[in-house]
Amino acid sequence: MEDRGRWGDRLVFFLMGGIVGATVALLYAPRSGEETRELLSTKMKDGTDAIKEKASATRQRLMDTRDKFESDAKDLINKGKEIVTREKEVISAAIEAGKQAYKEEKESGRKKSEI
C-alpha cells in the first residue's frame, strides 16, 4: 500500500515538473505575447480538465471501495449472527438436556427411597 502512495507522489512531482518546464519553455519561445498567452491558457485548461478527470476517477474508486467494505462488513455481521444463533440453540439444547437429566435423576432417587 505504501508503494502506491510513493508512486502517486512521484507521478504528481513528475507532472508538476513537466508543467513548470513547459511553462518556462513557452515563456522563452519565439512567439508573440498573445500567442504565448493563448497557448498557456489552452494548456492550463487541458491540465485542469485532466485533473478533474483524475479526481472523478479517484472519487469513483473510493466509492466502489467503500461499497465493497460495507458489503463485506454486512456479510461478516450476518455470519456472526448466524453463528450466535446456532450456538444459542446448542446451549439451549444442552440446558434442556441437563434439566431433563436432573428430573429423571430426581425421580429415580424418589423411587429408590420409596422402596
pLDDT digits (tens, 9 = 90+) for 3-48: 555 777 788 888 888 888 888 876 777 767 788 788 878 988 998 9
Structural domain including 51 reads 31-114
Q: Residue 24: its pLDDT value, please?
A: 82
Residue 110 in domain: yes
Residue 106 in domain: yes
pTM of the model: 0.47
Please list, in sequence order, all residues whose beta carbon lies within 8 angstroms of the beta carbon of residue 71, skipping any fewer than 6 positions away: none
pLDDT digits (tens, 9 = 90+) for 57-73: 999 999 999 999 999 99
Q: Is the distance from CB of 36 to CB of 57 less than 8 angstroms? A: no
The residue assigned the cell 510513493 is 6
For the chain, what is the domain count? Answer: 1
Q: Residue 1: its pLDDT value, please?
A: 47
Q: Residue 40: its pLDDT value, please?
A: 79
Residue 66 in domain: yes
